[in-house]
Amino acid sequence: MDLQRRTFRLADLPWGARLGLAFLVLTLLGGLAASMQHLVFHHQNRDEQPGVSVEDIQGAYHGVKTTAPLRGALERNHPPAMSEADRDVLVKWIASDRISEDYDNLDLGDAAPNELIARNCLSCHGRSAADPIAKTVPLEFFDDIKKVAFSREVSPVDIKILAASTHTHALSLGMLTIVVSALLLLTGLPRRLSGLAIFIAGFMLLADLAAWWIARDYADVVYIVIGAGAAYNATTAIMLVAVLVELLLGGRAKG
């Protein structure tokens, strides 16, 4: 009964029109894939580590301030056998703006950070050390040290940029979703299922864009940005695939 009430479906179009729309749908699917890759390029390395992490996205929308892991370990009295004098020197070195310059500064002699680390840390944090867990965080070379010696502070995007991005995404993605929703309603998919997909896409887009702003004050809202954005993209992709199936394989349903 649900299908019989429809007076028009995409499958009723001439083949030329159906193929043209199919090409456009494929273009939109490619655009969705490209947008995901753009997000990777845009957000990666905010935490100075390869790949995109929650910290990268949190830095973009809320800002992130992290303490250097090496400093945190020293302040937790690790390793416990290190003298307070050596510990104090290393903490002050990490807190300074001369981490690179003073790491192996010959003028510091035995008090140079590389010497202190060699004496106090490499028995466990060396690549050939016996401790299987500690050796996963080697401290033998400066390339190892710089991964754990720098504190990071990432500021969120400027509010003017956020406003411009919201303006662009709200209008473009909103119109895209309206068009895809209209096309979906012209397929043989049951109306309830189409309606559910449209509801999810619309709600997730609104939640995603709203969360951009709320996350500036509440860091945990970044998880809504991630979840809602992923759900919107996935739902829109499924809707487009359903339209594509209708255009290429659809035909009048019987009964």
Residue pLDDT tens, the chain, 255 long = 444 455 788 998 999 999 999 999 999 999 999 987 867 766 665 545 555 666 777 777 777 777 788 888 888 889 888 999 988 999 899 888 888 898 888 888 888 998 999 889 988 888 888 888 888 888 989 888 888 887 776 778 888 999 999 999 999 999 999 999 999 999 999 999 999 999 999 999 999 999 999 999 898 898 999 999 999 999 999 999 999 999 998 764 433
Q: Are 226 and 62 in contact (CB under 8 A)?
A: no
Furthest-apart CA atoms within the chain: distance in Å: 90
Alpha carbons 104 and 114: distance in angstroms, whole number: 5
